[in-house]
Amino acid sequence: MLSIVMVTMTVRLSFAATPPQQRFEKANALYKQQQYTQAAAQYQQLIDEGYLSAELYLNAGNAYYKSSAMGEAIYSYEKAQQIDPGNEAVGRNLALANQKIGSTAQSLPLLFFERWWMDLQRLHSTNGWAIGTIVLCWILIIVFAVHRFISRSILLRIAGYLTAALFIGYFAMAAWVYNRAQHQDIGIVMHGMAKVKAAPDANSKELFEVKEGIRLDVVDRTATFYKVALNDGKTGWVPVESIKTL
Amino acid sequence: MIHMTRIGKKSILTLLACCTAIVAMAQADFRFSTQVSSNTVALDEAFQIQFTLENAPNLSQLLPPDFKDFDVLQGPMQSNSTSITNGRRTDVVALIYLLRPKRIGNFTLAGATARVDGVTRKSNPVTIEVVKAVGNRNNLPQPQHQPQQMPQGYGRRPSQGIEDQPSIVRKGEDVNEKLRKNIFLKVDVDKTSVFEGEQVTATYKLYTRLNTSSNVTKVPAFKGFSAKDVELPNPPQATIETVNGATFKVFTIRKTMLFPLQSGALELDPVEVDNQVRLIKLGANTRRNQQLDDPNFRDVFGNSPFDDPFFEDFFNRPEVTYEDVPYKIKSNPVTITVKPLPTAHRPASFTGAVGQFEMTATGDKKTLSTDDALTVKVTITGVGNVNLMRAPEVAASDAFEKFDPKVMDNIDKNSNPLSGSRQFEYIFMPREAGAQTLPAVEFSYFDPKKGEYKILRSPDFPLQVSAGKNTNKDKQDYSNLGRNDLSNIYPTVKGWVKQTPYLFGKPLFWALLVLPLLLYGGVAFYRRKQEYKVNNANVLRHKNANKVALKRLELAARYLKEEKDKAFYEEISRAVWGYLSHKLRIPMAELSKQLVQEKLQDKVEESNTRELFELLDNCEMALYAPVGSSQSRQHTYRQAIDVISKLEDELKKVMA
């Protein structure tokens, strides 16, 4: 049964038109010729098709950076960092981009247990956790069945308890990671200024403006507005289209 | 002589008007004017009226107006003169009368009529205020022989201009009234209703007929305007203007081009001038002025000019005292109505330019590399608030690095209204190679004459940008990665993995979680069913144990009749064991006497058990050592039936 599922997933994955590497190299060539806007458009096309790679995002970020689209650039770097948190080039370019827009939004270093927690979350991908949950569920039931019907050995019982604990853990993590992915709590300001309003209403008072490329925490959301919080604690509502969530 | 000094920004203006000076005016144009020696006269006072014609070709007739309210004491006296100044010829014809009013009141003397070149011309009318005679005046002013407009070169002596006369304060004359009439400030504004940003020219002028040293103590601040002063000649030049028949020297204090910065009723502040007016006071008539006897004086002027009764009169007064009277004057404030610019149809590119303009925009290159810079020069030329013009926005894309434009002005200083050009020099550095287009420069202004906005637009600037040499910079990144350089792009991607849709929460996910549970359930159910089936068979067997046993016994009875001994005992044995097996739920294989005894122990009476085992022993014995008596076989048969029925009864009781 499991193998059938895996087969359907691989079928879905291998659905593509032209080899992406070719197009990636074409974009790289445009970048080398200093045609940054076009290069960025090429990279973005690959990203829009759903390819997920830190390298792709870094290149796109560089092209955006060079064509002065700082919002998109920072978004791409942040995305690359999300995929590959340890990448030095990404960290460096992100810092440069933030420096260029004059953002002092350097997140505080994490405490050790926060780091552990982040590492734990990154142990598997979102779907990794979900697949793990399923696999553990199967193992658990097989162990239980064997114990029940075939052999009542104490070892089996211990194995059963262990699998049950792991299953619960994986399920909880899968749910948590999925929830986090669904409700992104970090946004980047896109295209010029974002006007921050006092209420989620286009006619409400304008509190302040946020520059393109600034990183915001998304606290709350309605259909058309995000409630955002800045590093310095200021909060307000911005229209959905003016920021892009990670 | 006039001395005028302006010290710094304080604009201290010193005027010194001397009576002895008459400004030579090189007038080539036709002029016909009326001048009077004084606008205010006492009833018994004589005054002079002069009609001056300048440059009148083919003068055929010169008629005075009707002096019905005045007596003509003297005249008409006609004077003709010609002068050539700076190569320009001036012909002056003057008609002079000496008049004395008949009544008190205000009278308007119509201008004289002249036929010039066949066209009838009229000079300006003059209003004369006649007041009551004051004191006992013993002398009348004598008419002057020389018209005050007479060019200097022609006169045989320095003309004692009519300006002289106001300086003389006669006895009983009100000094303040005199000052008020003969010295004042005036503000000339060319328009009083303008649009925001439209030019207004304000001219502050000092009119004087007196000898005065003047200081400007307060200059207007022009609140709400952007002001641009028109340069005035230094020392100031006086012009002659005739106001109500009286000739005034006019000094322009300040001439400013004003551009309103806001709408509404804006007030032009007044200018304040402190004057020291030199007045001549006439005292008692005792002796002749020494100066007049001086032979040198006579020499200068040739024949004796002082034969004139007027001068006789004037200079014979020995006690002529001069007095400097301070007099402060202030101009009237002027209100200018500034209309706001219409908001309808206002172009997005409008930045406040008002006037009439033209624009040229040129780029210096069509092809360039990313190392080069493109210079776009935008020149806006025209009439209007050029000095306040802001740089038009060039909406260049992010593919260009932009710099603030360099502004160069070429404003005509002497122009009024303000005109000139302002040049904006934009520099663009292409960041990217390829075919790029720099969008058109758009400039819009408001035309106050037509009352509408105009948009000027240059063509687009298509550019062919080639990759410059600073690609080297990227190469250097490998060896010498500067602190501010981006890390290079990756040549390849490790794996082309697409973002998979989230599995968690999908029906598939839940299905896969529930599936093993279902499988487990299925297995368990199956096993349960199997077990039930087995159990069910046992129950039936248990129930039917008696019947089975009876059937076997029936068979045994047949064997008994047929005298098949072995078969008979076998059948009896089977019947009993089978019964026990089914009834006690013991599989055949496990069946043993011991087990049976255990099972039956507390269910069946001791005697019955003993009987059972006796029977089983008998059967075994008979099988291995046949005892041939038919009676014993009969007995065994009956015993078997007996035991089974007894066990059946007792087990039923126990089971129930």
Question: For position B563, which CATH number holds?
Answer: 1.20.120
Comparison of pLDDT for A193 and B655, the residue scoring more: A193
Query: Would you call B431 and A67 a contact, using CB atoms and an 8 Å cutoff?
Result: yes
Among the partner residues B489, B505, B527, nearest to A28 by beta-carbon distance? B489
End-to-end CA distance of chain A: 35
Cα–Cα distance, B380 to B443 (Å, whole number): 9
Give residue-wise pLDDT tens across range B313-330. 555 545 667 778 888 888
Given this model, what pLDDT does residue A211 score? 83
Query: Would you call B502 and A37 a contact, using CB atoms and an 8 Å cutoff?
Result: no
Given this model, what pLDDT does residue A169 score? 94
Q: Which residues of A touch B497 (CB under 8 A)?
A: 13, 51-53
Confidence at B311, pLDDT banded by 50, 70, 90:
low
Mean pLDDT of B525-550: 81
- Whether residue B419 sits in one domain with residue B549: no
Q: Which residues of A touch B471 (CB under 8 A)?
A: 32, 34
Mean pLDDT of B358-383: 87
Q: Give the start-end residues of each E strand in B342-405.
A: 350-363, 367-369, 374-384, 400-402
Q: Is residue B279 part of a domain?
A: no
Q: Is residue B8 part of a domain?
A: no
Of B149-153, B452-456, B496-500, which range is least confident? B149-153
* A19: preceding bond cis by omega (within 30 degrees): no
Query: What is the distance in angstroms between the Cα of A197 and the nearest Cα belonging to chain B?
Result: 25
Q: Is residue B260 part of a domain?
A: no
Query: What is the distance in angstroms between the Cα of A128 and the nearest Cα belonging to chain B?
Result: 9
Confidence at B157, pLDDT banded by 50, 70, 90:
very low
Q: Which residue of A has its CA nearest to B517?
A: A141
ipTM of the complex: 0.70
The CATH class of A17-101 is mainly alpha
Residue B142 is encoded by which pair of tokens?
């004598």
Confidence at B525, pLDDT banded by 50, 70, 90:
very high
Among the partner residues A5, A13, A138, nearest to B516 by beta-carbon distance? A138
Q: Is residue B523 part of a domain?
A: no
Cα–Cα distance, B199 to B353 (Å, whole number): 11
Query: Would you call B484 and A53 a contact, using CB atoms and an 8 Å cutoff?
Result: no
Interface contact A51, partner B, CB < 8 A: yes
In this predicted structure, the answer to whether residue B146 has a pLDDT above a threshold of 60 is: no
Give residue-wise pLDDT tens across range B60-80. 778 888 887 888 877 777 878
3-state secondary structure of B319: coil
Cross-sheet strand order for the sheet of A225-229: A206-210, A194-197, A235-239, A225-229, A215-221, A186-189, A243-245
Residue A63 is encoded by which pair of tokens?
């092209």
Residue B92 is encoded by which pair of tokens?
């002056």
Q: What is the dihedral of CA B429, B431, B436, B437, to 10 degrees?
A: -40
Query: What is the distance in angstroms between the Cα of A141 and the nearest Cα belonging to chain B?
Result: 6
Given this model, what pLDDT does residue B322 score? 78
CATH of the domain at B415: 2.60.40
Residue B649 is encoded by which pair of tokens?
């009864």
Of A98-102, B457-461, B510-514, which range is least confident? A98-102
In this predicted structure, the answer to whether residue B204 has a pLDDT above a threshold of 70 is: yes
Q: For chain B, give the mean pLDDT.
A: 76
Q: Which residue of B has its CA nearest to A133?
A: B513
Q: Is residue B184 part of a domain?
A: no
Which residue do the tokens 């009529």 mark? Answer: B113
- Whether residue B29 sits in one domain with residue B147: yes
Of A27-31, A104-108, B381-385, which range is least confident? A104-108
Confidence at A139, pLDDT banded by 50, 70, 90:
very high
Interface contact A81, partner B, CB < 8 A: no
Given this model, what pLDDT does residue A167 score? 93
Q: Write out the DSSP string of B3-34.
A: -----GGGT-------TT--------S-EEEE
Question: Structure pTM?
Answer: 0.44
Burial (CB count within 10 angstroms: exposed 0-12, middle 13-18, buried 19+), residue A192: exposed
Identify the residue among A141, A167, A178 best suited for mutation to test binding to B, counting B beta carbons within 10 A and taking the highest.
Answer: A141
Query: What is the distance in angstroms between the Cα of B453 and the nearest Cα belonging to chain A?
Result: 29
Given this model, what pLDDT does residue A162 score? 93
CA distances from A235 to A189, A213, A227, A230 (A): 14, 17, 7, 6
Q: Which residues of B touch A55 (CB under 8 A)?
A: 490, 492-494
Confidence at B10, pLDDT banded by 50, 70, 90:
very low
Which residue do the tokens 């010169």 mark? Answer: B62
Mean pLDDT of A231-237: 84
Give residue-wise pLDDT tens across range B391-411. 888 877 767 878 888 888 888
Percentage, residues of chain B above pLDDT 90: 1
CATH of the domain at B62: 2.60.40.10
Give residue-wise pLDDT tens across range B169-201. 666 667 777 788 888 888 888 888 888 888 888
Cα–Cα distance, B251 to B368 (Å, whole number): 59
Mean pLDDT of B153-164: 37
Given this model, what pLDDT does residue A161 score? 92
Containing domain of residue B71, as a range?
20-162
Q: Which residues of B touch A126 (CB under 8 A)?
A: 502-504
Confidence at B14, pLDDT banded by 50, 70, 90:
very low
State whether CATH 2.30.30.40 applies to domain A186-245: yes
Q: Write out the DSSP string of B382-441.
A: EEE-GGGPPPPP----TTEEE-PPEEEEEE-TT-SS-EEEEEEEEEEEE-S-EEEEEPPP
Q: Which residues of A touch B515 (CB under 8 A)?
A: 1
Query: Would you call B504 and A175 a contact, using CB atoms and an 8 Å cutoff?
Result: yes
Given this model, what pLDDT does residue A15 score? 45
Q: Which residue of B has its CA nearest to A126?
A: B502
116-135 in A: which are within 8 Å (CB) of B?
A: 126-127, 129-131, 133-134
Given this model, what pLDDT does residue B165 score? 58
Comparison of pLDDT for A226 and B433, the residue scoring more: A226
Give residue-wise pLDDT tens across range B467-484. 777 644 443 343 344 556
- Whether residue B541 sits in one domain with residue B645: yes
Of A44-53, B68-77, B275-284, B357-366, which range is least confident? B275-284
How many C-beta neighbours within 10 Å does residue A133 have?
Answer: 25
Give residue-wise pLDDT tens across range B409-433. 888 877 778 888 899 998 888 877 7
Cα–Cα distance, A142 to A137 (Å, whole number): 9
Query: Would you call A51 and B489 a contact, using CB atoms and an 8 Å cutoff?
Result: no
In this predicted structure, the answer to whether residue B141 has a pLDDT above a threshold of 50 is: no
End-to-end CA distance of chain B: 158
- Whether residue B153 sits in one domain with residue B28: yes
Q: Is residue B581 part of a domain?
A: yes
Interface of B with A (CB under 8 A): 370, 397-399, 431-434, 467-468, 471, 474, 484, 486-500, 502-505, 508-509, 512-513, 515-517, 519-520, 523-524, 527
Mean pLDDT of A203-217: 84
Percentage, residues of chain B above pLDDT 70: 80
* B76: preceding bond cis by omega (within 30 degrees): yes
Cα–Cα distance, A33 to A43 (Å, whole number): 15
186-205 in A: which are within 8 Å (CB) of B?
A: none
Domain extent listing, chain A: 17-101, 113-182, 186-245
Contact in structure between B369 and B466 (CB atoms under 8 Å) = yes
Of A83-87, B325-329, B330-334, B509-513, which range is least confident? A83-87
Among the partner residues B432, B509, B523, nearest to A145 by beta-carbon distance? B523
Query: What is the distance in angstroms between the Cα of B484 and the nearest Cα belonging to chain A?
Result: 7
Burial (CB count within 10 angstroms: exposed 0-12, middle 13-18, buried 19+), residue A5: middle
Nearest to B275 by CA among B242, B251, B246: B251
Q: Which residue among B162, B185, B202 closes a domain?
A: B162
Mean pLDDT of B335-358: 87
Q: Which residues of A touch B484 (CB under 8 A)?
A: 96
Cα–Cα distance, B109 to B62 (Å, whole number): 16
Beta-ladder partners of B383: B356, B419
Given this model, what pLDDT does residue A166 score? 93
Q: What is the number of structural domains in chain B? A: 3
- Residues contacting residue B300 through CB under 8 Å, at least 6 positions apart: B157
Q: Which residue of B has its CA nearest to A1?
A: B512
Cα–Cα distance, A121 to A174 (Å, whole number): 9
Among the partner residues B398, B474, B488, nearest to A67 by beta-carbon distance? B398
Query: Would you call B468 and A51 a contact, using CB atoms and an 8 Å cutoff?
Result: no
